[in-house]
Amino acid sequence: MTTHPLRIGTRGSPLALAQAHETRDRLIAAHPHLAAPGAIEIVVFKTTGDRILDRTLAEAGGKGLFTKELEEALFDGRADLAVHSMKDVPTQLPDGLEIATLLPREDPRDAFFSRTGGGLADLPAGAVVGTAGLRRQAQVLELRPDLKIFPLRGNVQTRLSKLDAGEVDATLLALAGLRRLGLTDRITAVLEPETMLPAVAQGAIGIEIRSDDDATRALLAPLNCDETMVRVTAERALLAALDGSCRTPIAALAMLDGDGLHLRAKVLSHDGSIIFRTERRGRSADAESLGRDAGAEIRAQLPPDFFVAAPH
């Protein structure tokens, strides 16, 4: 009897491949028999989000752009598990699929890059900051309404090359991805959450499987990080309560202190001029209800058209 290899579905960007390789390495460490030649296969899929480079994700329709093709591969058996950056994963998954495992979360903060050195506060008036993400755009303009925003898409290497070419004066990237790619030496400054609150689940890698695939779930079980699961559960419950997408600047970060959880969240207008904030402290066992409650509080304060207002 022949068995097919365990197939890991991933996007093809350098960062996505680094995350797939980390997943493979952790699987082999937990199950040495998977080190045998041909036991694990990494299968690359091109997603809608990878094909769209001429406009922002918000303009292209928001979330799900980096997961749809991977989920189709799970459904039809071309992949047994799919590796995602959790900040790209919609809060509603297709019926029959689930996030079975979260790997230990990397540093969730944002990194700042400037051609002149110094931090965000040191940029001259009118400087151009390259970012396509509405969350980063809104928080940059909250702090520095005098700056200009240029929509910068593409992978980490593409964005840094545009900074080097002088197309923008500064840009921001997730610190987690830079650490996974070994590119931290390029960072000008790391932005603390008080300055730039991260995206929901930033720095977390999630592994999605078919809900009826007990064999793959069992292989993944030793890889799951309970602390990451608690933190991401709180943040994603908040996002679900807000019904947020890439078209809305939403930021949140949950941190653990012993059995306690501290959740901070904010929703901003696209130009950073209107801000709704909240925070929750409670037991980590109540992560989902804390997140849901915080999201409901902010949603109750939002104007009716807040989520559909066009970006400026």
> 43, exposed or middle or buried, with CB in 10 Å at 0-12, 13-18, 19+?
middle
Residue type for position 278: T
Picking from 53, 46, 35, the residue whose alpha carbon sits closest to that of residue 73 is: 46
| Percentages of the chain per state (helix, strand, coil), in multiples of 5 | 40, 25, 40
- Does 88 participate in catalysis according to the annotation? yes
Catalytic entry in 50, 76, 88, 305: 88
Cα separation, 152 vs 307, whole angstroms: 22
Residue type for position 290: L
Distant-in-sequence, close-in-space partners of 290: CB < 8 Å, separation ≥ 6: 234, 237, 261, 263, 280, 282
Cα separation, 150 vs 37, whole angstroms: 46
Q: Are 9 and 70 in contact (CB under 8 A)?
A: yes
Sheet holding 275-283: strands in order across? 250-257, 260-268, 275-283
Distant-in-sequence, close-in-space partners of 56: CB < 8 Å, separation ≥ 6: 132, 134, 151, 153, 246, 311
Q: Are 223 and 206 in contact (CB under 8 A)?
A: no
Bridge partners for 82 per DSSP: 9, 208
Please report the beta strands in the chain, taking only residues with DSSP state E, as ranges in sequence order: 6-10, 40-44, 81-85, 97-102, 110-114, 128-130, 148-150, 170-174, 189-191, 205-210, 250-257, 260-268, 275-283
- Residue numbers annotated as active site: 88
